[in-house]
Structure formats: C-alpha cells, structure tokens
C-alpha cells in the first residue's frame, strides 16, 4: 500500500496493492490495523454508493456536529475528480481545498476527515462508494455551493469536455462560504 499525504493536514490518498492474474484482481479496500498505522484511526458505521453519469457534480456536502462524518471514498467503476474543502474553524488551511482523481483502474482511495466539505464530479460514468464515520442525519446537513468564487475550485470541466455540470436543485441552493461562516458562528 502506498500513502500520499496532501498539503492539507488529515487528507490522505491511499493506493492499495492490487494483485492481478488471469482471473482478474484482488485488493484490500480496508484493513483496520494497516489504516490505523497511516492515521485513519476511525470506525466506519455507514457505507454508501452512488451512480453518476458523466458530468454529474455532487456537493459540496458535510454534516454538522454532532453528526460530522469522516469519509473513506473510492470509485469501483469510472473516474471522478474528488474535492475536499477544509472547514475546520481553527485550521491554518481553512477555506483551502485539495483535489484528487479517483480512478477505478488505480483503485485509489481518499480519506476525508470530519470538518471538511466534500464533493465530486463524474469525469465519466462512475460508481462512487464511501464509508462514513457517523450515520447520516438530515437535520445536520450543510454545504457550500460548488462554484463559490472565494474557493476558486478548478473542477477541470473543460479538460474532460464537460460543457455544463449536472447539479441537483438542492446543491444549487447551497450557500457561499461567507454565508456558511455567518450561519455557523
């Protein structure tokens, strides 16, 4: 297993060992002791999966206390650009984001701890899976609008020939970071 720490404390890319032969392949998608050694020392209590057509953009989502969620994410089919925005109030990287390509051919994963808004855009038809450290709670839903100019996220839409992302009405109604900050004080 290869581990890549990002420029934002707590965000980790995990590239597992993939064992291939004429029958196909095998990999460990989680091993508690190995993941604890690399800093993912959390218990996962809920698993989710979504299917997205190319160009679907989901996020930026998060759960507020006491239902904050850390997420271990990957794609089992396709390719997505995954985004995590640091919203930890006392973090020196507050408001900064990290992006990573999750690819079913690489089988890589991204660990996003509690305190981050999370989202992705499907760069091709994709199946996205994530394990969460807390259960979903509708009353604790929060998020930031995907195209907030203050965040200046490069979603790489042009690079992947996505003319207009497909976004839910709910996600289009999310606040800007500045509005989120006013609401959370």
Please tell me which residue in 67, 111, 130, 180 is annotated as part of the active site. Answer: 130
Q: Are 84 and 97 in contact, with CB atoms under 8 Å apart?
A: yes
- Residue indicated by tokens 């207009």: 164
Assigned token pair, 28: 């460990």
Q: Are 58 and 170 in contact, with CB atoms under 8 Å apart?
A: no
- List Cβ<8 Å contacts ≥24 apart for 173-180: 174/60, 174/143, 174/144, 174/145, 174/146, 175/143, 175/144, 175/145, 176/144, 176/145, 176/148, 176/150, 177/95, 177/144, 177/148, 177/150, 177/151, 178/150, 180/87, 180/142, 180/143, 180/144
Going by C-alpha positions, the residue among 99, 135, 120, 113 that lies closest to residue 51 is 120
Concerning whether 160 is annotated as a catalytic residue, the answer is: no
Please tell me which residue in 35, 61, 67, 118 is annotated as part of the active site. Answer: 61
Concerning whether 136 is annotated as a catalytic residue, the answer is: no
The residue count of the chain comes to 185
Residues marked as catalytic:
61, 130
């Amino acid at each position: 297993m290869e581990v890549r720490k990002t420029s934002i404390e707590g965000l980790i890319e995990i590239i597992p060992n993939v064992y291939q032969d004429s029958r196909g392949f095998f990999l460990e998608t989680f091993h508690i002791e190995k993941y604890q050694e690399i800093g993912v020392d959390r218990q996962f209590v809920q698993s989710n999966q979504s299917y997205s057509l190319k160009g679907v953009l989901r996020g930026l989502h998060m759960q507020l206390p006491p239902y904050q969620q850390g997420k271990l994410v990957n794609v089992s089919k396709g390719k997505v650009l995954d985004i995590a925005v640091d919203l930890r109030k006392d973090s020196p990287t507050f408001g900064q984001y990290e992006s990573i390509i999750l690819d079913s051919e690489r089988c890589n994963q991204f660990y996003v701890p509690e305190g981050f808004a999370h989202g992705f855009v499907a760069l091709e038809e994709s199946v996205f899976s994530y394990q969460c450290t807390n259960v979903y709670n509708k009353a604790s839903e929060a998020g930031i609008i995907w195209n907030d100019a203050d965040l200046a996220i490069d979603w790489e839409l042009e690079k992947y020939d996505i003319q207009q992302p497909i976004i839910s009405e709910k996600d289009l109604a999310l606040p800007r970071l500045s509005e989120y900050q006013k609401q959370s004080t």
